[in-house]
Amino acid sequence: MKLRLILIACFAFAMVATGCKKNDSPVTPPVITVGDNFEHVEGLNVGDVVNLKVKVSAAAGIKRLAWYFVTRNANGTTAGTPATVDKTDYPTTLDQTITFTVAENFSELVITSFDKAHRHAEVHIKPENIRHSPILTFKDNIRFRESVFENKNLTIEGNITSEFDLKSLSYQTVINGVLSGENSIAITNKNMPFAVKLVAGKNLSAIIVKAVNQYNGLGVDTFKIGTVVDDDVIVTLANSQTNVPVVYAGIDNTLSGTIFSGSAVTNLTYAVKTNGSYGSEMPVAIGTPADEFTFSVSYAGTKGAQAIRITGHNAGNKTKTAEFNVSKVYSKLKVFRDVKLSSEIGAGKNNWFSAYQTPNVFDITNAAPVQTMMDLLFAKYADGDYRLMAPSIFDAGTAYKNAVQPYMVGFNKAPYTMVSTNRASLTPVVFNNLEWDGDMMNFLDTAVKNKENYNFYTTNRRYNNSFSTTQGFIIGWGQFSPINNQAFGIVIVKDFTKTSTGATLTLDIKVPDGDNRTKFNPVSILNYNP
């Protein structure tokens, strides 16, 4: 049987519709003939390359030959973009080779041809029993080493997963751009770990591993080498990281990796860069063997962490320092539990909440002196309607101004705070699980902004009056005009109770550790005139 393959794509052909006359010619439509064994195709392997010979005959002359592939997807099938061969000299015969690579989702190849009189013929090729080729994965999904050492033992490990029994397993090296012969690897199972063990030669650039199953399905993957060096100390981080993704401030952090050296490592240290300066060099234990070992260091996370460097010295008198920059620093969220606010006015009846001003809750007697630090006001808006509002809500209309006036005695400034509507994804469980500011922002961006399509960065909402114990909401600080909310907290309602004299609201609140009220006050304060 000729080379095998899979067929994918779609074909769109527009026939001349306007002005066509009835064709009374007895001439038959084109005849499409495909190569041997391709009218009924089975047993293709994913990844096979197929060369399909097609012959078209048309007494009236061939105008177009086209083909497209139909592939399977989650919703059924879809047709791909057609490939076409158009002929202006209208030959009566046409030979064409269609070359393609069999894909896993290949369903059908459609070949069609039109003659000069717009008659057409169509052939459908539907392969059966497409077989999966073996799949190779290298250990920890690492497929590249920046450097290895000349004349030292090198081991490349991985796993093979195969639907069918393996017929062969081998590796080849690429040195000076020349591909070596195949070297066999012992087969123990169709699903098995493998290890390629070799001595690294000068100018080694790749190790190619091949697995062939009993149906000649081929799986191939390549492990690449950057350079081969005589002697050096190389520091790599776990999971092929090139930086420190996150430092958690206020707790111990761990940095892990591997040391590779052309000779035994004799000294290994690390230091942390904070606010522009490196601290003391701290010793790191040297593993076994001393020329290749994993390491793990524990260091205290700080808000000013910028980088970590690791310095190694070996018996060949080579010293190498690798610096890994810190991408992000996460800080613990400030947590306020059971914040109880009242709509009633008077001494001891707290209407105000401030995230960054102690004692955090205030009544009419002590709010005005620290008015620019007030974030939220719980007040009666109308009969039976109680709202949690930003102080700046007064400028949203007469009704709001009249509602907040009794609570803002002594105020001449009103800070802006964003107060969102309830968000379905912000449940009490989610609220309790979020401990770090960076994790909170990742959640809000993913679950609220993207999935719920609620842009809390640009909304000018300043109140919430739908107090649900199952859905929380967001508060934010930033610029008022134009709106640019930049820092955020999250709120969960613990209890909302109406009484004959007013209402009480009990909240759990989490906010970033830094004082965002003071930070954004220059662009978020409104003048208030009762």
| Per-residue pLDDT, 274 | 97
Instruction: Identify whether 186 is part of a domain.
Output: yes
Asked whether residue 24 is assigned to any structural domain, the reply reads no
Angle (CA) 137-140-144 rounded to 5° is 80
- What is the per-residue pLDDT for 129? 81
Q: Are 458 and 418 in contact (CB under 8 A)?
A: no
Q: Is the whole model's pTM more than 0.85, yes or no?
A: no
Distance, in Å, from the CA atom of 178 to the CA atom of 387, rounded to the nearest integer, reads 75
Run of H or E including 484? strand 484-498
Which of 177, 203, 229 is the endpoint of a domain?
229
User: 323 and 369, same structural domain?
Assistant: no
On whether residue 305 sits in a domain, the answer given is yes
For residue 497, the enclosing domain spans 334-527
2 lies in a domain?
A: no
Partners of 320 in the β-ladder? 312
The residues, ordered by sequence, that sit 6+ positions from 174 with a Cβ below 8 Å of its Cβ are 180, 204, 205, 206, 207, 208
Based on the fold, state whether residues 224 and 242 are members of the same structural domain: no
205 φψ region: left (φ > 0), alpha (ψ -120 to 50), beta (else) = alpha
Distance CA 226, CA 237 (A): 16
In a domain, 384, yes or no: yes
**Strands (DSSP E) found in 18-134:** 31-34, 49-57, 62-73, 76-79, 83-86, 93-101, 106-115, 120-125
Q: Decide if 14 is inside a domain.
A: no
Whether residue 190 sits in one domain with residue 67? no
Return all residues near 88 (Cβ < 8 A) that are at least 6 apart: none
pLDDT reported for residue 6:
33
The angle formed by the CA atoms of residues 58, 114 and 32, to the nearest 5 degrees, is: 55
Asked whether residue 217 falls in the same domain as residue 241, the answer is: no
Q: What is the CA radius of gyration of the chain?
A: 35
Alpha helices, DSSP H, located in 173-263 = none
Domain co-membership, 171 together with 263: no
For 145, what's the count of Cα atoms within 13 Å in the CB-facing half-sphere?
A: 25
The two structure tokens encoding residue 519 = 């930070």
Per-residue pLDDT in tens (0 to 9) along the chain, 530 residues: 333 333 333 333 333 333 344 444 456 899 999 976 665 567 788 888 888 999 999 999 999 999 999 999 988 999 999 999 999 999 999 999 999 999 889 999 999 999 999 999 999 988 888 888 999 999 988 999 988 999 888 999 999 999 999 999 999 999 999 999 999 999 999 999 999 999 999 999 999 999 999 999 999 999 999 999 988 999 999 988 999 999 999 999 999 999 999 999 999 999 999 999 999 999 999 999 999 999 999 999 999 999 999 999 999 999 999 999 999 999 999 999 999 999 999 999 999 999 999 999 999 999 999 999 999 999 999 999 999 999 999 999 999 999 999 999 999 999 999 999 999 999 999 999 999 999 999 999 999 999 999 999 999 999 999 999 999 999 999 999 999 999 999 999 999 999 999 999 999 999 999 999 999 999 999 999 98
Quick one: pLDDT at residue 47? Answer: 87
Residue 529, phi then psi, degrees to nearest 5? -130, 105
Could you give phi then psi for residue 189, rounded to 5 degrees?
A: -165, 165
CATH code for the domain of 152: 2.60.40.10
For residue 10, the model assigns a pLDDT of: 32
Same domain, 343 and 322: no
Which tokens belong to 449? 């902004």
Residue that the structure tokens 């084109």 belong to: 30
- Structural domain contains residue 6: no
Return all residues near 359 (Cβ < 8 A) that are at least 6 apart: none
Residue 203 shares a structural domain with residue 83: no
Calpha distance 52→98 (Å, rounded): 5
Residue 39: the pLDDT is: 56
- Let me know whether 438 and 511 are in one domain: yes
Give the chain's domain count: 4
pLDDT score recorded for residue 130: 87
Domain co-membership, 190 together with 251: no
Amino acid (1-letter code) at residue 487: A
Same domain, 465 and 489: yes
| Domain end among 312, 329, 346 | 329
Single residue among 301, 329, 357 that ends a domain in this structure: 329
Alpha-carbon distance of 376 to 381, in angstroms, equals 14
Cα separation, 170 vs 164, whole angstroms: 17
Distance, CA of 330 to CA of 253 (rounded, Å): 11
Q: Domain check: are 307 and 418 in the same one?
A: no
SS3 of 252-315: EEEEEEEEEECCCEEEEEEEEEECCEECCCEECCCCCCCCEEEEEEEEECCCCEEEEEEEEEEC
Residue 17 maps to a domain = no
Q: What does the pLDDT read at residue 27?
A: 67
Q: Prior bond to 193 cis, omega within 30? A: no
Question: Based on the domain organization, do 309 and 373 belong to the same domain?
Answer: no
Distance in angstroms (rounded) separating the CA atoms of residues 254 and 257: 10
